[in-house]
Amino acid sequence: MATRPADLLSALEDLTEPSRLIARLGGGFTPALWVVGGAVRDLLLGRVPADVDLIVDGPLGPVAAALGGEPVRHERFLTARVGGVDLARARRETYPRPGALPTVAPATVAEDLRRRDFTVNTFAVCLTGPERGTLRCAPTAERDLAERQLATLHERSFLDDPTRLVRLARYAARLDFSVEERTRDEIEAALTAGVLTTVTGVRIGNELRKLLCEPDPVRAMVALRELKIDGRIATQLGLIDDQLARRALALLEPEDRRDRTVLAAALLGSSAEVAAQLLDRWGFPAEDRDVIARTVAQAERVSRRLEYASAPSEIDWAAGGPDSDPELIALAGAIHPANAAREWLVELRHRRLAIGGADLLTAGVPAGPAIARGLAAARAAMLDDEAPDAASQLAAALAAL
């Protein structure tokens, strides 16, 4: 663990972005650049930082000019992107009303650290200028990091920004941190006060999406549950059976969507309509919404069908055919420990017929439902190893008609 500021600075200089910046600006550059937040926290924990957040202790203009190129500026948030680097001016934030987006104003680095969500996210290391190599943080940040606990900086934190409740669960799961006692009280008070109703569904959705993309989304959903946050987001939301979700994830292949699967597991018991309404409110893309809503509504039924399927063609039928949703089949398989789900996910869904509808038309089958029936029969024969090639599949289709 890099504990001394000098070690931290050199660890930061080994990362691509800071090293490029120092090479281009020089170590003496002012206004000073600071690396702040997750990257420093992760280095202190001996973890590899995912991304590097940079703030500038002064106006962004000189940095942008020194880096060359026109910055893309977002004045409202005092941020700019220049030469592939995201920069933010050190700022203070005020919340016009609970749950609203903050109003930002230029401020010192110390003030910028005070606006943050949790003490362990307040570490900052100065990269350039006279303070180069200095480590700053909130007064209790080092203690909280050593004790591996999440604590807010002040008691209004969750009222200012209720999305921090979801962030807390995400960090607790990812870092394997507990929640400090006073912060637990603040969570309870905030939930009782109904803070989650003051923020838009899309902002909650954004944090839920990040949580579901964690390396261990099940653990993050369990953290939401333990803190009793999930049911306040929506009464239907809550991962009651984490082992069920884990079994479902174990059935997926790498290209399948773990996030959709875990969210569906956390919404089990809802109707497709209710699930779709919630997902719309949270701003999920239409395709995610549809797959998750179908999975929630059909998992039980498909699991019963899979239980009684044994021949490959029966399994494929029970699963709903080759274009069914893998999330649905994984969750169905997890409900009843069904090898059938695994067989479909690993093998059957990837198998495709050598013939198509056009071949049936050429063979004289009239356009209409007969085509689909014929293709289904050919597929069943193929899966049961009775029709390995185009000729035998065509014969199987025609025989069925």
Q: Which residues bind ligand CTP (CB under 6 A)?
A: 37-38, 50, 53, 116-117, 121, 161, 163-164, 210
By C-alpha distance, which of 111, 117, 191, 177 is closest to 153? 117
Which one, 44 or 268, has the nearer CB to ligand CTP? 44
Task: Look up tokens 């063979």; give the residue.
Answer: 363
Count other Cβ atoms within 10 Å, centred on residue 308. 9
Task: Compute CA distances 198 → 277, 280, 291, whole Å.
Answer: 19, 17, 28
Spatial distance between the Cα atoms of 63 and 19, rounded to a whole number of angstroms: 15
Q: How far is the CB of 321 from ligand CTP (least distance, A)?
A: 39
Which one, 36 or 396, has the nearer CB to ligand CTP? 36
Which one, 53 or 359, has the nearer CB to ligand CTP? 53
Spatial distance between the Cα atoms of 380 and 384, rounded to a whole number of angstroms: 6
Which one, 37 or 326, has the nearer CB to ligand CTP? 37
Q: How far is the CB of 192 from ligand CTP (least distance, A)?
A: 21
Task: Look up tokens 């995610």; give the residue.
Answer: 288
In this structure, are strands 124-126 and 91-94 parallel, antiparallel, or unpaired?
Answer: unpaired
Which one, 121 or 324, has the nearer CB to ligand CTP? 121
Q: Is 26 exposed, middle or buried (0-12, 13-18, 19+ CB in 10 A)?
A: exposed
Q: Is 157 exposed, middle or buried (0-12, 13-18, 19+ CB in 10 A)?
A: buried
Q: How far is the CB of 118 from ligand CTP (least distance, A)?
A: 7
Q: How far is the CB of 56 from ligand CTP (least distance, A)?
A: 15
Which one, 153 or 251, has the nearer CB to ligand CTP? 153
Residue nearest to ligand CTP (CB): 38
Q: How far is the CB of 177 from ligand CTP (least distance, A)?
A: 12
Contact predicate 291/209, CB 8 Å: no
Q: How far is the CB of 230 from ligand CTP (least distance, A)?
A: 18
